[in-house]
Amino acid sequence: MTHKIDELVDAFANARSVFVFTGAGASKESGLPTFREIDGEWNQYDPMTYATLDGFLSEPVRVWNMYRLRQRQIGDAQPNAAHIVIAQMESRYPHFLLTTQNVDDLHERAGSRKMVKIHGDCWGMRCMHCSEVFDTREFSLPDEFTSETLPRCPHCEVLCRPNIVWFGEFVPDEAMFASIERASSCDVMLVVGTSGEVSGGYGFVERASMHGATIVEINPTEGILTQHAHLWIPEPAGVALPKLWQSLTGLGRNSLPPA
């Protein structure tokens, strides 16, 4: 394993283009539940109700109240060491993109700017008529909704939905095209905290591999993307990424800035 770690460090040290792809596991160490593990969201909430358009139209109050709870959980959470290292990577590489499946804002709060969110943003709401997107934090919304207090578009007065990509919906074109472009041209692809079970990783790993990139996966358990990785590091992201960063930069864990 040691020689593989050395090869990994060399690959990152010599790279000019890096593509990072993160999933729910990247935020687990910040206290946010994943979706498919034993204690995950979909064992508590039926995804057909809480993560489909039909479910929302049938139960808008229940769905919005689940997302309000999720917003409170996100607001209480803090970026972990993995978020911070990924944010620091931006300044090292001339060509860098972070694509996240996460709908929280922990990457942004850690300092990431060169990023796209392919599954939406838990803080957003979108008008079901004009499709304009608003930040729920800019409105005086109750902690718990009733049918009379559901969020409505300030322009159309039509019901708003969470700005989340639900099952059966398409990822926004701009985010997808940016991700495909970077996956197809990166020197190193770093896969963090995602099994790829739902999306199959959108083919990003296969594109990167086809173009000769070094594929590194950081995830405590194997997933369907592991077979494509040149190196799988079976550790939590908050443990593995600071060690990798220290090897690259000589900065120890205590040198990471506070979130």
pLDDT one-digit tens code per residue, 43-52: 666 878 899 9
Domain ranges of the chain: 1-31+78-119+172-259, 33-76+120-164
Quick check: 5 pLDDT over 50? yes
Out of 37-51, 81-95, 182-196, 245-259, least confident range: 245-259
Two structure tokens written together for 105: 């804002």
| Number of continuous H segments (helices) and E segments (strands) in the chain | 10, 9
Calculate mean pLDDT across residues 3-13. Answer: 78
Q: Enter the pTM of the model.
A: 0.90
The per-residue pLDDT for 116 is 97
For 186, left (φ over 0), alpha (ψ -120 to 50), or beta?
Answer: beta
Give me the DSSP letters along 165-234.
--TT-PPPHHHHHHHHHHHTT-SEEEEES---TTTGGGGHHHHHHHTT-EEEEE-SS--TTGGG-SEEE-
Q: Give the span between the Cα atoms of 19 and 112, in whole angstroms.
A: 13
Quick check: 117 pLDDT over 80? yes
DSSP 254: G
Residue 201 pLDDT level (bands cut at 50, 70, 90) = confident
More confident residue, 192 or 254: 192
Catalytic residues: 119
The per-residue pLDDT for 44 is 66
Residue percentage of the chain with pLDDT more than 70: 90
Q: What topology is assigned to 33-76+120-164 in CATH?
A: SIR2/SIRT2 'Small Domain' (3.30.1600)
The per-residue pLDDT for 27 is 95
Quick check: 197 pLDDT over 70? yes
Three-class DSSP category at 119: coil
The per-residue pLDDT for 259 is 35
12-67 pLDDT tens trace = 999 999 999 999 999 999 999 875 544 545 466 687 889 999 999 999 999 999 99
The per-residue pLDDT for 33 is 83
Residue percentage of the chain with pLDDT more than 90: 75
Residue 4 pLDDT level (bands cut at 50, 70, 90) = low
Q: What topology is assigned to 1-31+78-119+172-259 in CATH?
A: Rossmann fold (3.40.50)
162-175 pLDDT tens trace = 999 999 999 999 99
More confident residue, 34 or 223: 223
